[in-house]
Amino acid sequence: MNQVENKWIPIMEPSLDGNELKYISNAVKTGWISSQGKYVDEFEAALKEFNNALYALAVSNGTVALHLALVSLGIRKGDEVILPDLTFAASINAILYSGATPVIVDVDSATYNINPKKIKKAISKYTKAIMPVHLYGNPCAMKELISIADKYGLLLIEDSAEAIGSIYGGEKLGSLSDVGTFSFYGNKTITTGEGGALLFKDKEVYQKAKVLRDHGMNPSKRYWHDFVGYNYRITNLQAAVGLAQMERIDDILNRKQFIAEYYQNELSSIEGVNFQVTQSEGSNSYWLVSLTIDRSNRSASELMDFLRKNNVDSRPFFYPLSEMPVYQNYCIQNELIVSKMLSKNGISLPSHIGLKDKHLEFICSKLKEYFNEK
Ligand SMILES: *Cc1c(COP(=O)(O)O)cnc(C)c1O
């Protein structure tokens, strides 16, 4: 066994070797450890600039970013919000927190993202918004989604939790809709430990979200509350890490691009291996390099076991929301077929920038072994 084989290769791990420690030490030394302090403003400015957005707001995590997006856009009980069946539960939970009713729609088998052709049937007179999710970093069909939203007068909220740095039609994901959100959880493309952010097009919506983030307190009249708000603030400590991550985001994205291309070059000719497809207007930032297995004598779960035995981590796709009893009331029955197929056959490969070329070589050799020599 060589050196690579003896050591566990995780699917994701944070890369914190820039100014993270320096900035966080500075926050501690100066006493600015709560949600006031310069790093919050600087982190928001960096997000705004990188995404070419008009307004950016940092919050405590990606789930509250989604909730804040919904409530600051005025979505509430009685409204319906359309979302894809294949996503992390936070997307649908945030809709439920707002009081609105989620309506689950099937996804596309190539991109894994919400299928615009399936949306029309899900629109009712109560529909207020569509929440596309850019799964694993892969851009949704934004042109189609924007045209549906325009035609039916609907709001668009991009759940870009997994997609910072991805591009569609020359613009960064999260900046193409009314509000876009990010997550900076420890395994995401950039991290603040726990954290999230929102991008806005409309100044009033941004200002409303900013007030709601801070208990609904009137910004010019202390302890006077205009709304029932929330405490969704990010700390200066988290923002210190976030700012350092933003300084390195281009390097992080470049390396992730290299990793994705490496896997694709090595493995896409294997019979029954289908990588997630990026549409022509898009560029995937590859939070997780993902593929499905379509071969009668091979399976995703068996492959994951095989990789684990070889010290290589991987992960299954999300369960379709429609399969979980808690969300079953929100499905248009019998129409959620592609999400089930993807969920059963999908696997994501190690995709973090700590992977050296020798790790990529090793992982690919193990995948080839599984598919060809079993
Ligand atoms: C990670 C994630 C979230 C939630 O982010 P947290 O920061 O963990 O709250 C929401 N949606 C999607 C698609 C995610 O992957």
DSSP string, 343-367: HHHEEEE---TT--HHHHHHHHHHH
- The finding on whether 232 has its CB within 6 A of some atom of ligand 1 is no
269 C-alpha to ligand 1 centroid (Å): 32
238 C-alpha to ligand 1 centroid (Å): 16
156 C-alpha to ligand 1 centroid (Å): 17
DSSP state of 330: G
Place of tokens 């944070």: 14
- The finding on whether 90 has its CB within 6 A of some atom of ligand 1 is yes
- The finding on whether 162 has its CB within 6 A of some atom of ligand 1 is yes
Q: Whose CA is nearest to atom 2 of ligand 1?
A: 161
Label residues 74-107 b or e (16+ Cβ within 10 Å = b).
ebeeebbbbbbbbbbebbbbbbbbbebbbbbbbb
62 C-alpha to ligand 1 centroid (Å): 5
- Atom in ligand 1 nearest the alpha carbon of residue 188: 1
Q: Which of 108, 58, 100 is nearest to 274 (CA)?
A: 108
In sequence order, the β-bridge partners of residue 58 are: 197
DSSP state of 190: S
- The finding on whether 88 has its CB within 6 A of some atom of ligand 1 is yes
Per-residue pLDDT of the chain (374 residues; tens, 9 = 90+): 455 767 999 999 999 999 999 999 999 999 999 999 999 999 999 999 999 999 999 999 999 999 999 999 999 999 999 999 999 999 999 999 999 999 999 999 999 999 999 999 999 999 999 999 999 999 999 999 999 999 999 999 999 999 999 999 999 999 999 999 999 999 999 999 999 999 999 999 999 999 999 999 999 999 999 999 999 999 999 999 999 999 999 999 999 999 999 999 999 999 999 999 999 999 999 999 999 999 999 999 999 999 999 999 999 999 999 999 999 999 876 679 999 999 999 999 999 999 999 999 999 999 999 998 65
238 within 8 A of 195, measured Cβ to Cβ? yes
Q: Which of 126, 125, 124, 119 is nearest to 104 (CA)?
A: 119
> What is the Cα–Cα distance from 174 to 198, expressed in whole angstroms?
8
- Atom in ligand 1 nearest the alpha carbon of residue 185: 7
- The finding on whether 312 has its CB within 6 A of some atom of ligand 1 is no
> What is the Cα–Cα distance from 145 to 119, expressed in whole angstroms?
9
Amino acid at 373: E
Q: Which of 196, 165, 199, 175 is nearest to 353 (CA)?
A: 165
Q: Which of 165, 345, 135 is nearest to 249 (CA)?
A: 165
How far apart, in Å, are the Cα atoms of 286 and each of 34, 162, 192?
A: 32, 8, 19
372 C-alpha to ligand 1 centroid (Å): 36
192 C-alpha to ligand 1 centroid (Å): 13
89 C-alpha to ligand 1 centroid (Å): 8
Cross-sheet strand order for the sheet of 167-168:
171-172, 167-168, 282-283
Report pTM.
0.97
- Atom in ligand 1 nearest the alpha carbon of residue 183: 7
Q: Whose CA is nearest to atom 5 of ligand 1?
A: 62
Residue 239, H or E segment: helix 236-247
Evaluated on CA atoms 331, 332, 337, 339, the torsion sign reads: negative
- The finding on whether 87 has its CB within 6 A of some atom of ligand 1 is yes
> What is the Cα–Cα distance from 312 to 302, expressed in whole angstroms?
13
Q: Which of 322, 286, 364, 320 is nearest to 12 (CA)?
A: 286
- The finding on whether 95 has its CB within 6 A of some atom of ligand 1 is no
Total residues found in the chain within this entry: 374
> How far does Cα 85 stand from its chain's mean position?
15
